[in-house]
Amino acid sequence: GPKVLQIPSHQIIDMGQMVTLNCDPVSNHLYFYWYKQILGQQMEFLVNFYNGKVMEKSKLFKDQFSVERPDGSYFTLKIQPTALEDSAVYFCASSLDRADSDYTFGSGTRLLVI
């Protein structure tokens, strides 16, 4: 079936540095999401994005976080500066038409901040 690709699969970064996580969503999907998962536990919503704008964001989406999708390119999550507590697996997802429709998830980016 259609896939969401996430690049890189793993990233190790020094605390305080900037990191960009990249997501290539399903081609005809219009809604994009980032979720954070720690140690295989609960999936925590960060942000969703539609038509070039942030639609909703959670308390976990700190000021150091930003998202964008320049035309035809990756949907990105940027963290600047990173903190130790940002270490987690970040999952990108996309859906076709509504934020409550079926999501397709990527395989995640495992981020370790040291």
Contacting residues for 72 by C-beta, under 8 A, at least 6 apart? none
Task: For strands 104-105 and 109-113, give the pairing.
Answer: unpaired
Residues 42-61 that bind other proteins (CB under 8 A): 42-45, 48, 56
Residue 91 binds other proteins (CB under 8 A)? yes
Rounded to the nearest angstrom, the gap between the alpha carbon of residue 7 and the centroid of all alpha carbons in its chain is: 11
Among 25, 61, 82, 108, binds other proteins (CB under 8 A): 108
CA torsion 88-91-74-29 (nearest 10°) is -170
Q: Which of 61, 74, 75, 103 binds other proteins (CB under 8 A)?
A: 103
DSSP-derived 3-state class of residue 13: strand
User: In this chain, which stretch among 12-20, 60-68, 79-87, 104-112 interacts with other proteins, using CB under 8 A?
Assistant: 104-112
Q: Is 105 in the site for other proteins (CB under 8 A)?
A: yes
Residues in contact with other proteins by the rule CB under 8 A:
4, 33, 35, 40-45, 48, 56, 91, 93, 98-108
